[in-house]
Structure 1
Amino acid sequence: MLRSPLNLLLILLISCATVHSHLHAKTLNVVGMENYPPFSFEQDGKMIGIDNEVMAEIGRRIGLDIEIDYLPWKRLLAHLKYGSTDAAFALFFTQERNEFALYADIEPIHDGAFYLYVKKGSEFYFKQVSDLYNKKIGLQLAFSVSEAFDRAVEEKKVDILSAFSNVNNIELLLADRIEAFIGHELVTGYNLRNMNVLNKVTRLSLPVSEKKAFLVLSRESKTFADKASLLNKINQALIEMKADGTHQKIVDQYLK
């Protein structure tokens, strides 16, 4: 059957609109660490957190749909390494991770200090890693703290008990399974308040390390061919978010 010029024009417009929609709807699949409040966690069946909201705002600014999932830390690293996800938050820089991750490293997605936490009344002197030799320390699985600390662990100078989460570390400490644990100041403070045990745990005064955590892209992911361009857009979005106060506004709403 012959089609009228008007029908052909209508078909052409619909086809163009469909293609345009598909181009605009490209999705960046991102994984974050589960049970890591206030950065990434679930509440009332919803995935929320500082990093979650920052990531969503980055997507809005660079014109990408963002699909976020939460995983245990070791699985997150494996997904990133083998290209099962496009991106992940939030990683500290290490040479090993740099082999499979591309860092949006102009601005961190978050930063902060890691401290030692002990039971109240069980404080000990800490100034350097050697002060932890022969002590039983709780540390989340696959966490990198600092070059000096990681080396001491590898050389078995520090006795590590691996924990599944920051909450698990708190539980191990209160059960006298460990002498101390290493935790991010914001994450640990958030969990101690929620568990109503602030009066039972003390933070030692000096940080074990102070680090910046970054959004990264998987080198193995095939979703985006021009990863350099995508990294530039992400970096620029983070720069703008910090300059216009959006990033701090997101942080503040979780730290009230």
Structure 2
Amino acid sequence: MRRIIESLSLYGILFFLMSSSLYASEDNIILLSEEANSPPYSYESDGTPTKGLSLALMNGIFAHLGAKMDLKLFPWKRCLIHMKQGTRDALTVLSINEERKEFLEFTEPHLEIKGYVYYSAAREKGISWNSFEDLKGFKIGVVAGFNYGKEFEKSKKELSLQISEVTRLSQNFEKLTLGRIDIMLANQAEAGEFIRLNPKYKGKIKHAEKPYIVYQYRMAFSKKSNKRHFIPKINDVIKKMKSNGELDSIVSNFF
């Protein structure tokens, strides 16, 4: 009987150790979501990415973090649903706005990119502007769900700006060259990479000198995730990578 009890105790200890190890392993894995097919951040349509700026940034950060990542690609709306429901832990590259702060907690910025006003090179006169009021007479192309900053959102309402909304950046490039919109707003990284991948637009699109925003991109954790305790450590890693030039080195491979 004593041997049976000792055996049961041993099995209990082994089970506890295995369970604890599994729990610790799961607690050390952060489930990341990223928008699919969004160059230069991602290129594949689903699954696990093999290239892109977001993957490069996450590889750099997690190399210092002492945690593992499970990065998967999804349509943008699905990414936001994951964050609202807490079914995955964090997004890789995202800018802040008031709506997002309701369900997301953000890290320090790990990437800065300018947003520009783009127009067709076929225009007789280029576009220069100082305030959004200067754009009041233009039909402006934007992408649904994208963050264009507080100033634009405020001006859009107060100035009754003419907005033409699409679901993909590529649609605005087409509309711009066909004259269906006058200008479009886009960040330099996405617009530049789109033109590189679609050379038929090369030389046909220009942008105004003044940016409408300087985007600060960050990782963003779902407020329902139990992995938010990693945020202070991620902030320390980002600061270290900024000071030693590692972040600049990563980004320079894409710009």
Flag whether TM exceeds 0.5 (same fold).
yes
The alignment of Structure 1 onto Structure 2 pairs a total of residues equal to 249
Where does 1:132-147 land on structure 2 (aligned, <5 Å)? Answer: 132-147=135-150
Judge conservation of contact 2:133–2:159 (CA < 8 Å) in 1.
Answer: no
Judge conservation of contact 2:119–2:176 (CA < 8 Å) in 1.
Answer: yes
SS in 1 for 2:253: helix
Where does 1:70-219 land on structure 2 (aligned, <5 Å)? Answer: 70-105=73-108, 108-122=109-123, 123-155=126-158, 157-196=160-199, 197-219=201-223
* Alpha-carbon distance, 1:69 to partner: 2.4
2: distance between equivalents of 1:233 and 1:40?
A: 25
SS in 1 for 2:220: strand
C-alpha change, 1:216 and 1:45, in structure 2 (3 Å) is closer
SS in 2 for 1:220: coil
2: distance between equivalents of 1:205 and 1:35?
A: 28
2: distance between equivalents of 1:172 and 1:45?
A: 31
Judge conservation of contact 1:102–1:217 (CA < 8 Å) in 2.
Answer: yes
* Alpha-carbon distance, 1:18 to partner: 6.0
Where does structure 2 lack aligned partners over 5 or more consecutive residues?
none
C-alpha change, 1:63 and 1:22, in structure 2 (3 Å) is farther
* Alpha-carbon distance, 1:81 to partner: 2.5
Where does structure 1 lack aligned partners over 5 or more consecutive residues?
none
Normalising by structure 1, report the TM-score.
Answer: 0.83
Q: Deviations over 1:43-101 (max 9, x none)?
A: 89862221222123323322322122233334433332332321113222222222211
Flag as ranges the 4+ runs of structure 1 deviating above 6 A: 5-11
1: distance between equivalents of 2:173 and 2:114?
A: 17
Percentage of matched positions with identical amino acids: 24
C-alpha change, 1:189 and 1:44, in structure 2 (3 Å) is same
C-alpha RMSD over aligned residues: 2.8
Judge conservation of contact 1:134–1:157 (CA < 8 Å) in 2.
Answer: no
